[in-house]
Amino acid sequence: MNRKEVSYQVKISDMIADMIMDMFDEGESTVQIQRNDLANRLGCVPSQINYVITSRFTPEAGYRVESRRGGGGYIMITRANSKSDAVVSLIKSIGDAIDERNARAHIYNCNYQKLIDETSAHLMLAAVNDNNFKGLDRQSANIIRARQLKQMLLTYID
């Protein structure tokens, strides 16, 4: 991919994100989009819409995404109304088990999104470190790590 293609990709990604954010700015907490319609309006492929949604409208950023595939398929994006809503959405997205790499990514994103402060982020990173789970099989460690991370995040719900 050359520089021009990368520049185009960045610009189209920004345009897609801006268009979706404009829909939220109209006062709605939930927007429903048709991937193909939006792609046609912006002159891009539907996979670019998917990329923007999965990279920018994440639980850590306070969004919940539901997708229905097929001919009349749509994507529904719901924006959390508060910090607590964003944390609840994140907790739901963690699942029953999580490895260290993904736990760290969630923590960094929470700090970046100002859901947690830097001190809390450092404490959480220490708690989810693989060294804390030596002697446990990977599956057990990932289950316990997910439980710990969820419990720590629960302290941020009003």
- For all residues of the chain together, what is the average pLDDT? 86
State the angle between helix axes of 138-154 and 118-127 in degrees (0 to 180), rounded to the nearest 10. Answer: 160
Tell me the C-alpha distance between 47 and 21, whole Å.
Answer: 18
Residue 1 has pLDDT above 50, yes or no: no
Domains for the chain: give ranges and CATH numbers. 3-79 (3.30.56.130), 83-154 (no CATH)
Q: How far is CA 111 from the centre of its chain?
A: 13
Between residues 78 and 127, the one the model is more confident about: 127
Confirm whether pTM is higher than 0.75.
no
The percent of residues in the chain predicted with pLDDT above 90, rounded, is 39
